Structure 1
Amino acid sequence: MAPEPHTAYTVPFPPRPQPEPQSGLLTAGEHDDLLNPELYADYVRKSDLGQQVRALPVLDTARLLTVEVKDERGRPAPFVPVELRCSDGNSLTFTTQADGTVAFFPGMDRLSGTVHIRAADSAWRLVDVPRTAGTGRIGFALGGPVQAVTKLDLALVVDVTGSMSDELRFLQAELDSIVASLGERHPELDIRVGMTFYRDKGDAFITRTYGFTDDMARARDQLGKQFATGGGDYPEAMQDALVRAANQKWRPDAMKTLLLVADAPPHNEDVGATWLAAEHLRAERVQIVPVGASGVADLAEYVMRAMAAATQSRYAFLTDDSGIGNPHAPPAIDCYLVTRLDKLLTRIIDSQVSGRRIEPDKADVIREVGQYEAGKCVLPEGFGKET
């Protein structure tokens, strides 16, 4: 009798143990393209993505026209309307952020060579728009007291397709930590949180939105009920989510921050709609803070960095230092500091509320990439010169 053949069994490799979700475990870096215009111009040129997706925005962060408004004592004046009129009669009106500034992009905003600008009811001033690299800065001083920042509307826009399961597990704990830290730093701050979750066409839902609430227990419950599934292909319905978020009931006298947590771009044919939504948010003084999660590739990083720069904000991205979740694609960024995600986002939002850039404590820095000095990368000698 022939012996029975041996049966081969494959023993599955055990997955890497993952810690229970809690704040302070995820790690991240951040970058401000408005502070690094030469590097941003080099990044846009080298990416060559404009040849693939024509609707991609092209920002020239080196050629800015920045309007800075202060009160009679030299303090930044938030929520001040700044009106700009071009020689052809077209006009733009934005309101100042907490640092008292509004940034105009001559190319993106289609400015004429000279423009008239006024802040609130001040006299009009004729200003030459920068034609080459170099920031034009125009100052206004207003009489009377400035309006204090006492409110914050914080919107979460989160990709909840299948690839985002690890990030979603930790997001609830991170939100608790961020809101608690902001409350400690600004006890008078009235904080509301709203949420938009999104997937893609063909999934059980495309977007699911919850209005702003100051009930943090309710917000935690809404976030805790979400789970990651669906998607299928790489791009997702980011444009629909941003439109939903733009239509939230933002308070006009609040600082407005939108955390966009995503690991994929919109579909190529939806990039134009995505950028229109971002421009609408910019007009409403909403600062977009993208958080690039695992899987972020060239197009997603490009779109999210453009949104951050256009809204006077910063681009954040998760790193592998925590050992949690899928591998994270390294960003096309020359220098940054790696810290805990909750502390990083707290610093960014606190900077937007207080109107001054806040750097991490040395003890909070896990790792440094490149030569970093207060948000700026030290450029190598001869950078940008033709060879």
Structure 2
Amino acid sequence: GPSRVATEPAPIVQEQPGVKAGEWDDNANYREFQKYLATAGQVAYAPDITHRTFIVVRDADGRAMPQCRVTVTGASDAAFQLRTGASGRAIFFPRTATAVGAENNELLASTSCGGATGTARFRAEAEDQVVDIRLGTKRAQQGLPVIDVAFVLDTTGSMSEEIASVKRTIAQVTRNLAQAGVRVRIGMVEYKDHGDTFVTKGYPLTEDVGRFALDVSNVSAGGGGDVPEAVEEGMSYAVNNLNWSSDAVSHLAFLIGDAPPHAERLAAFPGVLREAQRKGITFHTIAASGMDQMGQAFWRRAAQYTGGTNMFVLRGGAGPQSTGAGDPISSCGGTQRNYASGNLDQLILGKVQREAAFLRADPMRIPGLLTDENARPCDKRTTLSPLVAAK
């Protein structure tokens, strides 16, 4: 376009351009995700997600009830536990809970939350459904909602090219969270590989943003060697060892790395993901450039199972081939044909802001329930991924 006359001198030090990333929500496009998994190949550890049930807990006014423990029981003595997020929803995959044992194809979901109890019976073998538990009480009035945010970060040598931009991204998110209209507790887990100076290193969740920023600035990449890294150990540390708050309406973990887990550790993953579900921890996964196909498939599985989204840095090997068939018609105002894209810091910040918005939203409006969002016309979509303007 025509050049514009500068009205003031350009600053001498310009801010580094943001890391560009794409985003893929595999629960909003659940059927498309299953097609992708068929092409990615099945692996022994992978949870069976071919049937899905959204369990929604609402108060007397129909508002979302966050952090409610939901217990699913059936014919056996076994029980499967989940915890709702800020949306009032928990995702249950019945084929990962066969030990519960359906009775006449029925399971029972029950909760005791906010001074009230509620139950709902549902079919165990429905392919995609929502189960509504209405409580007789109203949700307690809250001040600013508390949201826990943890970064689970690969700091091995292969991340050395990315680590500076990842650190800038985390620092930018940390600064912006102060204006997000929520109280945020923020923490981190570093993971490397066996034989390195450490395998995992935790930084507790804190409201002291200055201290956290200092911790992030001191992170450096090194170690590793072979391609796989100690991903399972990093995720397990985040789920089991970080000081998640019972007062938080949401527990978010952002897994950032460029390499898959070790094959011999894959059997431990279903247990880690189930424990995340039990504690109401959502993993949003971020694939750095250079991630291979196995790693990309794992990142997407971990996000989809826990209700998160998968983001990927738009540079090098982790780009559009990781997005499945996509939207053949249009991107509803986006710049890409089949995924939302924008600056990574804004995509991450948007996840935190979305949690606060869930408290004001209708918990029964669920993207991807029964029909993939990409299969709907733009004006009929349950949610539109906002296009984040590049800075």
- TM-score (normalizing by structure 2): 0.78
Range moving further from structure 2, 162-171 or 310-319: 162-171
Q: Distance in 2 between matches of 1:308 and 1:21?
A: 34
Pairing partner for 1:344 from 319, 343, 347? 347
Whether 2:152 is the aligned partner of 1:157: answer yes
* Structure of larger gyration radius: 1
Pairing partner for 2:244 from 250, 255, 261? 250
Partner in structure 1 of residue 137 of structure 2:
143
Partner in structure 2 of residue 55 of structure 1:
45
Q: Distance in 2 between matches of 1:228 and 1:83?
A: 41
Q: Which runs of 5+ in 1 are unaligned?
A: 1-19, 321-325, 359-373, 381-387
Aligned partner letter, 1:35: A
Alignment of 1:1-387 (within 5 A): 25-50=18-43, 54-60=44-50, 63-110=51-98, 112=102, 113-120=105-112, 121-129=116-124, 131-146=125-140, 148=142, 150-186=145-181, 189-246=182-239, 247-254=241-248, 255-320=250-315, 328-330=318-320, 331-333=322-324, 334=326, 335-355=338-358, 376-378=373-375
Task: Give the 3-state SS of the residue equivalent to 2:128 in structure 1.
Answer: coil
When residues 156 and 338 of structure 1 are mapped into structure 2, their CA distance, relative to the original with a 3 A threshold, is same
Q: Conserved in 1, the CA contact under 8 Å of 2:55 and 2:89?
A: yes
TM superposition shift of 1:234: 0.8
Aligned partner letter, 1:345: I
Percent identity at matched positions? Answer: 24
Task: Give the 3-state SS of the residue equivalent to 2:131 in structure 1.
Answer: strand
Partner in structure 1 of residue 389 of structure 2:
none
Q: RMSD value over aligned CA atoms?
A: 2.5
When residues 168 and 29 of structure 1 are mapped into structure 2, their CA distance, relative to the original with a 3 A threshold, is same
Q: Distance in 1 between matches of 2:138 and 2:279?
A: 25
Task: Give the 3-state SS of the residue equivalent to 1:205 in structure 2.
Answer: coil
Q: Conserved in 2, the CA contact under 8 Å of 1:64 and 1:106?
A: yes
Structure 1 residue ranges, 4+ long, deviating more than 6 angstroms after superposition: none
Q: Which runs of 5+ in 2 are unaligned?
A: 1-12, 327-337, 362-370, 378-391
Q: Distance in 1 between matches of 2:271 and 2:54?
A: 22
Q: Conserved in 1, the CA contact under 8 Å of 2:255 and 2:285?
A: yes
1:254-281 deviation digits (Å, cap 9, x = unpaired): 1211110011111111112233222212
Q: Distance in 2 between matches of 1:141 and 1:161?
A: 48
Q: Conserved in 1, the CA contact under 8 Å of 2:63 and 2:360?
A: no
Task: Give the 3-state SS of the residue equivalent to 1:184 in structure 2.
Answer: coil
Aligned partner letter, 2:245: R
Q: Conserved in 2, the CA contact under 8 Å of 1:30 and 1:336?
A: yes
When residues 142 and 78 of structure 1 are mapped into structure 2, their CA distance, relative to the original with a 3 A threshold, is farther
1:44-82 deviation digits (Å, cap 9, x = unpaired): 1111142xxx2233322xx22222122222221112222
When residues 375 and 152 of structure 1 are mapped into structure 2, their CA distance, relative to the original with a 3 A threshold, is farther
1:322-374 deviation digits (Å, cap 9, x = unpaired): xxxx554431432202211111111122213331799xxxxxxxxxxxxxxx9
Aligned partner letter, 1:286: I
